[in-house]
Structure 1
């Protein structure tokens, strides 16, 4: 199996000229979408590429896909420049945009797959093998004969992922790949992406607002905001450096008693049968706090967890204002 190409992005910039006020009489204004971002993706890596709306993610993704030409900077996928070598580049990558379809609305899913096979010039035997594998893995048997316009959003997204992989791309760019999927389908898609990386060495760049996708798939997270890379680190490093707190939830059979908590412990919620504490394990070790809570009368159960990833990212943005 060939080694997937390395992706190199250096000092990538993109600016647009727009007319203010939405009128042809308005003055032209320059908008900077990317202010010089740089990162490298190694072969077989799964990286999350996240940021709020307007951060510059979509612009960067479109440049990587060869759809847009940057104002300046370097992008190389192996030995190719995406916007200069579009035909060779698109044969190497698979792209799924959650809000756009690469399948044809009036064709059946099977007809769309066949047409894509012809466009990518996939040999018939290889195409049949790939389609069989993808249909089974993504549970598409029941919708192959349906037109794309008849599909639910979840069904269409699974078909779109299959369509992007029919030509066995070395690089997969996923923009909101689990949008509209129910919980079992999300789990299936995540498992499929992990399998691609494990068995085929596929390099995956994932952008999504579903932080559970990031937590489940990406060992590395690139956070973009205001057109700049705010951080590029392993996910666990981001979690530890941005929000190292832990959460202790305690259930009681009687109302939880009032307590004086040590420095570093904050009571964040109290109900007639529940108590939630946020604490810094560097100041108050978890076993010490567990021992104190365990001694309270009426305790029924307790759990220690981490803050939700959404809160981690939110705190990170708060600490990096424009």
Structure 2
């Protein structure tokens, strides 16, 4: 694959097999194969924002580690920006940025500003370019008051924004985000999502996002890939995934008083507890008309919207797919 054909990432039959030893009887150990990634193929074009989702243990992180060169594939073909990640890891490092939600790439005891200075030296970023990129990240991610604060004193949301900035100071072509909003409050999530949308629109940065939060996918990605048991189950629009899996969203309605179950076309009441009712409706449908009708026809106090769990979506995907085979 060359970058001229528009694909920045290409996987063809990618595999990763681990040999695992386990004790079976007494001191006897048995070796078995675990296929973490099992023949995955896909292409990501320059400038795409793609969600890469699945339950824990599905193979998402293993795929990311192969894309970054941390792990070597057991089989298949893999290219990122025309490079073989495992063989050309140092060259590739200048073309990619990585953010792991559970781990920081920043220096724990140093102020944020000093961590960024070390990043500049590691990637040999020209001073002018570094200053421009840092100023932009500081402004859009609201990092100004945090630059002199040691990383260990930052909250999770502040550190996450700091990590995203660090991953972008060298102008990568590709940004891998592994659970970038995990544990963040609503305001921090909104800031991160807004920044990523602007980054993609203004600079055309290609983003591959793994997350358990479907709202991340809805607000950022036009395309979603579902992986489970190391295999690609679905590749397409999020609305199509909901249709295939027949997943449902839930509108939680708090009324002024206890009433009989709400009856509205396109939704069904699945639970009632006093003045609170839970209404399920297709996840592929807009919530706006349902919210408007509830507000117009019932004495409403409050409401909230709950997205389906990714695990539930994938479980339904299996049910709707003959023999549990992939779709899409």
- TM-score bracket, shorter-length normalisation: 0.7 to 0.9
> Which residue of the other structure, out of 209, 214, 226, is the alignment partner of 2:212?
209
Post-superposition offset of 1:244: 6.3
Structure 2 CA distance for aligned equivalents of residues 48 and 228 of structure 1: 15
Report the equivalent of 1:155. 158
Structure 1 alignment gaps of length 5 or more: none
TM-score w.r.t. structure 2 length? 0.82
The answer for the alignment partner of 1:52 in structure 2 is: 55
Q: Map residues 173-252 of structure 1 onto 2, 5 A cutoff.
A: 173-243=176-246
8 Å CA contact 2:57–2:229 kept in 1: the answer is yes
Match of 1:320 among 287, 312, 318: 318
SS of equivalent to 1:154 = helix
Shift in CA distance, 54/24, structure 1 to aligned 2, threshold 3 Å: farther
Summarize the Cα distance change of 1:268–1:120 in structure 2 as closer, same or farther, 3 Å threshold.
same
Report how far residue 246 of structure 1 moved.
7.1
Q: In 2, distance between residues paired with 1:279 and 1:161?
A: 35
In structure 2, the residue matched to 1:75 is 78
Equivalent residue of 1:107, what SS?
coil
**Residues 48 and 272 (structure 1 numbering): CA distance in 2 closer, same or farther, change over 3 Å?**
same
Q: 2: distance between equivalents of 1:141 and 1:241?
A: 45
TM normalised by structure 1 equals: 0.84
Alignment correspondent of 2:22: 20
**CA positional deviation for 1:52:** 0.9
State the 1:116 CA deviation: 0.9
Runs (5+) with no aligned partner, structure 2: none
Report the Cα distance in structure 2 between the residues aligned to 1:308 and 1:180, rounded to whole angstroms: 16
1:306 and 1:242 map into 2 onto residues whose CA distance is: 19
More displaced, 120-129 or 179-188? 179-188
**Comparing 70-79 and 55-64, the one that deviates more:** 70-79
Deviations 1:188-218 (A, max 9, x none): 1100000011000010000012222122111
The 5 Å alignment of 1:282-297 reads none
Per-residue deviation, 1:27: 2.5
Please give the secondary structure, in 2, of the residue aligned with 1:131: helix
List per-residue Cα deviations over 1:130-189 (Å, max 9, x = no partner).
Answer: 111111211112221222222222221111101000001111000011123221111011
Q: 1:104 aligns with which of 92, 102, 107?
A: 107
Deviates more, 1:267-276 or 1:66-75: 267-276
Task: Report the number of matched residues.
Answer: 312
Distance 2:110 2:45 in 1: 37
- Deviation readout 1:35-72 (Å, 9 max, x if unpaired): 10111111111111011111000100000011110001
Contact in 2 for aligned 1:245/1:306 (Cα 8 Å): no
User: Cα deviation per residue 1:244-278 (whole Å; 9 max; x = unaligned)?
Assistant: 6676777766643479x799974412344355554
Q: Is the 8 A contact 1:247 1:304 kept in 2?
A: no
Evaluate the alpha carbon distance shift between residue 120 and residue 205 of structure 1 in structure 2; reply closer, same or farther with a 3 A threshold.
Answer: same
- Secondary structure of 1:6 counterpart: strand
Q: In angstroms, what is the RMSD of aligned CA positions?
A: 3.5
1:270 equivalent among 254, 269, 272: 272
The answer to whether 1:43 aligns with 2:83 is no
Report the CA distance shift for 1:175/1:153 in structure 2 as closer, same or farther (over 3 A). Answer: same
CA distance in 2: counterparts of 1:258 and 1:116, whole angstroms: 58
Question: CA 1:258/1:31 → structure 2, altered by over 3 Å: closer, same or farther?
Answer: closer
